[in-house]
Amino acid sequence: MDIDVLIVGGSFAGLSAAMQLVRGRRKVVVLDTNQPRNRFARASHGVFGLDGKSPAEIRATALSQLALYPGFQLVEDAAVGVEKLRGGFEVAAESDAVYRAKKLILASGITDQLPDLPGVKAFWGKSVIHCPYCHGYELSDRPLGVFATSELSFHQAAMIPDWGATTLFTQGQFNPEGEVLGHLIDRGVVLEETPITNLLGAKGQLQAVLLADGREIPLEGLYVSPKAMLASPLIRMLDLALEDSLVGSIVKVDAFKESSVNGVFVAGDLSNPMQSGTFAIASGTMAGVAAHRSLIFNK
């Protein structure tokens, strides 16, 4: 096998893994469709040294640096099949190309399952967001809301007042009680039980929400907690063990990002219960180092 490590996914996690491996003088191929989860955001915030740069700009910079290493190759293609072989893996691409590698890193990210709410896609990643550390500062001191999708939204609503006046929209389904309710009240969170039926605004900027009783409430930022969908078919084909997290199912890995299948490492949002660009970069670094060590010590 002439490829040491095949990486599926070329965003923050996958390219971070690739950097460790090519610097270890290994031959690496990255399969990527350039459809990262963060493509809807204008900028990536909170990433050390890269704050405010667009996801596309960060990716382009990383690729320009990786291209200087002779062991690196980027292929714009989708991985659609995988088979475990003696001593490695065979991955089939959508273009009918076949790649054989000693180790495999999955870093293709997840798909966000957004609430079934009219208008949400038009604002997603701009003024409808999920992470205050990633995008909250830019919405500071504006009227903010949290769209309840589970009891996890109570925790989210308790955080957001640090950025602005916050309303928790329970949708009439998720109603806090007891100490949780008391904490939200102490934090100044306003509860609204009437469901949101539409989002109002223009050019990605939310301006108000329309409620089922006809009221319009001014709002310039709405937080939601989408469910994570594991879109890669390779996870099922490899029968990787999964585990539950607050965002949904993720791939179960050990401290070195190795999955339940020896030689398969999983980085980024596929295996991270806490998800951000910084966490993706860190987990990709770990997966790259661990895959390199696996080539040396566990042939």
Mean pLDDT of all residues belonging to the chain: 91
Q: Which of 126-135, 234-243, 271-280 has the highest mean pLDDT?
A: 234-243
Mean pLDDT of 143-171: 93
pLDDT at 45: 76
Out of 50-64, 84-98, 189-203, pick the least confident.
Answer: 50-64
Nearest by Cα to 145 from 227, 228, 201: 201
Q: Are 168 and 148 contacting, i.e. CB atoms less than 8 angstroms apart?
A: yes
Distance, CA of 196 to CA of 128 (rounded, Å): 14
Residues in the chain, overall count: 299
Closest CA to 44 of 131, 110, 122: 131
Q: Which tens digit of pLDDT belongs to each residue from 252-273?
A: 999 999 999 999 999 988 888 7
Question: Which range has the worst mean pLDDT, 99-103, 242-246, 288-292?
Answer: 242-246
Both tokens of 235, joined, read 């996870």
Q: Which residue has the higher pLDDT, 125 or 176?
A: 176
Region of poorest pLDDT, from 7-11, 72-76, 106-110, 199-203: 106-110
Domains and CATH numbers, the chain: 3-112+227-297 (3.50.50.60), 115-223 (3.50.50.60)
User: In angstroms, rounded to a whole number, what is the distance separating the alpha carbons of residues 86 and 166?
Assistant: 56
pLDDT at position 131: 85
Mean pLDDT value of segment 67-91: 95
As a whole-number percent, the residues of the chain with pLDDT over 70 amount to 97
Segment among 38-47, 68-77, 114-123 with least mean pLDDT? 38-47
Asked whether residue 251 carries a pLDDT value surpassing 80, the answer given is yes
Q: What is the 3-state secondary structure (H, E, C) of the chain?
A: CCEEEEEECCCHHHHHHHHHHHHCCCCEEEEECCCCHHHHCCCCCCCCCCCCCCHHHHHHHHHHHHCCCCCEEEEECCEEEEEEECCEEEEEECCCCEEEEEEEEECCCCEEECCCCCCHHHHECCCEECCHHHHCHHHCCCCEEEECCCCHHHHHHHHHHHCCCEEEECCCCCCCCHHHHHHHHHCCCEEECCCEEEEEEECCEEEEEEECCCCEEECCEEECCCEEECCCHHHHHCCCCEEEECCEEEECCCCCCECCCCCEEECHHHCCCCCCHHHHHHHHHHHHHHHHHHHHHCC
pLDDT of residue 37: 65
pTM of the model: 0.88
Instruction: Give the pLDDT confidence of 28-54 residue by residue, as tens digits.
Output: 999 998 877 666 677 777 787 787 788
Q: What local confidence, expressed as pLDDT, does residue 154 receive?
A: 93
pLDDT at 72: 97
pLDDT of residue 276: 81
pLDDT band at 1 (very low <50, low <70, confident <90, very high): low
What local confidence, expressed as pLDDT, does residue 85 receive?
93
pLDDT at 245: 79
Which pLDDT score, from 0 to 100, does residue 40 have?
62
Q: How far apart are CA 174 and CA 147, in angstroms?
A: 10
Amino acid at 87: G
Longest dimension (CA), the chain: 65
For the ranges 84-93, 109-118, 144-153, 165-174, the lowest mean pLDDT is seen at 109-118
Q: Residue 38's pLDDT is what?
A: 66
Q: What is the mean pLDDT of residues 74-81?
A: 95
